[in-house]
């Protein structure tokens, strides 16, 4: 995954988003690997347009569906959908219009703070926000992440 290139592309196009998931955990100090970039994105019309423009030239494709399935990620697709799991020329990217345990982008924004990732200042979900989201998702990997979050807090206190 070309994380820096994905983050730069979103930032350069003025997309309002917050980093969530594995990259947010790593940015907050959890030692773990991740295979994709997960972001929560604002769903206002201007931001959907900026997001579609930012991703257009890196050929977003739906992950896990036949390659010949017609799909165009544009403002209309983003408005009509909510959460998208994509492959791009720069690596896997998951777009979440709503985050379990938190809600819409406004709620994610409230549960985030600014951090630098690869030299880029970005909005990143806090440990408290990550804990709420991971607890709500409840998948085995999320439960494991809750253990990492607890361990990080134990070391920090």
What is the reported pLDDT for 117?
85
Query: What gap in Å lies between CA 97 and CA 29, rounded to an integer?
Result: 25
Parallel, antiparallel, or unpaired for β 37-41 and 17-20?
A: antiparallel
**CATH 3.30.460.40 at 3-156, yes or no:** yes
pLDDT in tens, the chain (157 residues): 699 999 999 999 999 999 999 999 999 999 888 989 999 999 999 999 999 999 999 999 999 998 888 899 999 999 999 999 999 999 999 999 999 999 999 999 999 999 988 888 999 999 999 999 999 999 999 999 999 999 999 988 7
Among 123, 40, 38, smallest CA distance to 85 is for 38
- At 99 the pLDDT is 98
Apex CA 97: angle with CA 27 and CA 59, to 5°? 80
Spatial separation of the C-alpha atoms in residues 60 and 73, rounded to whole Å: 7
Domain locations in the chain as residue ranges: 3-156
Within a 10 A sphere around the Cβ of 131, how many other Cβ atoms? Answer: 19
CA 144 – CA 138 distance, rounded (Å)? 10
With 0-12 / 13-18 / 19 or more C-beta atoms within 10 angstroms meaning exposed / middle / buried, residue 126 is: middle
């Amino acid at each position: 995954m070309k994380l820096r290139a994905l983050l730069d592309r979103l930032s350069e196009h003025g997309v309002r988003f917050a980093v969530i998931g594995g990259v947010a955990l790593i940015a907050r100090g959890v030692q773990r690997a991740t295979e994709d970039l997960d972001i929560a994105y604002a769903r206002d019309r201007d931001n959907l347009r900026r997001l579609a423009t930012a991703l257009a030239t890196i050929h977003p494709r739906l992950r896990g569906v036949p390659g010949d399935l017609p799909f165009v990620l544009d403002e209309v697709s983003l408005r009509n959908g909510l959460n998208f799991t994509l492959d791009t020329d720069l690596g896997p990217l998951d777009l979440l219009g709503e985050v379990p345990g938190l809600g819409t982008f406004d709620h994610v924004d409230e549960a985030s703070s600014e951090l630098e990732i690869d030299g880029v200042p970005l909005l990143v979900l806090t440990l408290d926000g990550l804990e709420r989201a991971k607890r709500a998702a409840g998948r085995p990997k999320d439960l494991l992440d809750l253990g990492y979050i607890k361990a990080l807090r134990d070391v920090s206190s």
